[in-house]
Every structure is written in structure tokens, then in C-alpha cells.
Amino acid sequence: MFKLIVNSLRKRAKVVLILLPILLVSDQLWAKSSKLLILGDSLSAGYGLTQAQSWVSLLQDAWQKSNITVVNAAISGETTDGALARLPRLLSQHSPSHIYVELGGNDGLQGHSITKMRNNLMEIVKLSQESGATVILQEMQIPTNYGRRYTELFTKAYSAVAEERDVTLLPFFLADIALDTQLMQADGIHPNAEAQPIIAESMRAALSPLITE
């Protein structure tokens, strides 16, 4: 009886030793599974800059040794209409675990309907969530010369979407940079190369906990 017990324990120990490396490999694969899709406009596409200078590229470089990969699907001039039309293909192609939505600026600058913009953002978040992705919504702002009522409704659209769809809303990421002419391009809308490392670091600090939690 004693020998049977010993043999049984030895067999179980062998099974544990065999399974342990498999479990470790599985954990490693799981640790590398986070994929962040950037769905944005020229502010994330690096307008007026080389690809390597943009904050998204700098962020990806900073995450090289982490478990997060970045897919930059931002396009200069993108509106919520265009992004919503592209989203199903992007979700199918990349299967992101997280989606950072930086959209609406061009809608506002072009004077589009706030209701339509809000509905588009709502649908973008909804489709993303239905795919299994965690959504992070970026609040956007536009110049005040569009009128107080329009700019207020524009900004409030983001908190409304975030509340209804229960997603994280990040405060406008250029709030301080936009006020510093030395960090902005001549058009006064797009941050320059000097601003990109600042943006990348602030976005790394904001996004990392949300993706790795």
C-alpha cells in the first residue's frame, strides 16, 4: 500500500512538472495580448511631422518592453462619420483589446451637427464594446470663436457618451500645450515636434493603468 501511495505521488509530481512550463508559456502569451487601436484624426496621425516624431510612435517605442502593442488607425481630416464607416473593418482586421477614440475635432471645426457627432461617437463606442474591446474616450475641444453655445454643447457631448456607455473619459490632452505657441505649429491647431514627447509621456501615464488593470 505504501509503495502504491508513493508511486501515485510521483506520477502527480511528474504531471505538475509537465504542466508548469505550459502554464508559464500560457501566462506569457496572455501577458502579450493587449492591443491598443488608435481611432483618431490628425492630432494622432502626426500631421506635419514624420511618423517617428508623432506621439503615437513615441508611445509605441516606450511600450516596446511591455505587454502593449499599438495600431495607429488615425487619419488626418477624419470625422466621426468616416471613423464609424471604417470601424467594422478595423475591428475585424485587428481584434483590439482596447480602443482609444480621439475624434470629433474636425466635426466641430466644420460646424457639423452636435447631435449627429454625439450619435456617431455613441455608435463607435457601442460597436467597439460589442467586439469585446475596452473603450477609452478622449474629450476634445474647439476654439471659442464658434460661439459659446456650440462649444459648450460640443464639450458636453463627450461626457454624455462616456456616462451612457460607461467608458473612461480622458480630459483634453492638449489643454496646456495648445496655449503655448512654442509647442504649436503655425496653424495654431496641431502640436509641433517639440510637443510630441510631452504628449507621449502624458498619454503613457494616462493609458497604461487603463490597459494593464
Active site residues: 42, 187, 190
- Say how far apart CA 47 and CA 37 lie, in whole Å: 18
What angle in degrees, to the nearest 10, is found between the helix axes of 55-62 and 196-212?
50
Give the three-class secondary structure for 141.
coil
What CA–CA distance (Å, rounded) separates 114 from 156?
A: 10
Residues facing 168 on adjacent strands: 136
* Measured distance CA(21)–CA(173) in Å, rounded: 43
Question: By C-alpha distance, which of 182, 191, 177 is closest to 43?
Answer: 191
Torsion angle in degrees (nearest 10) through CA of 197, 202, 207, 209: 120
What SS3 state is found at 93? Answer: helix
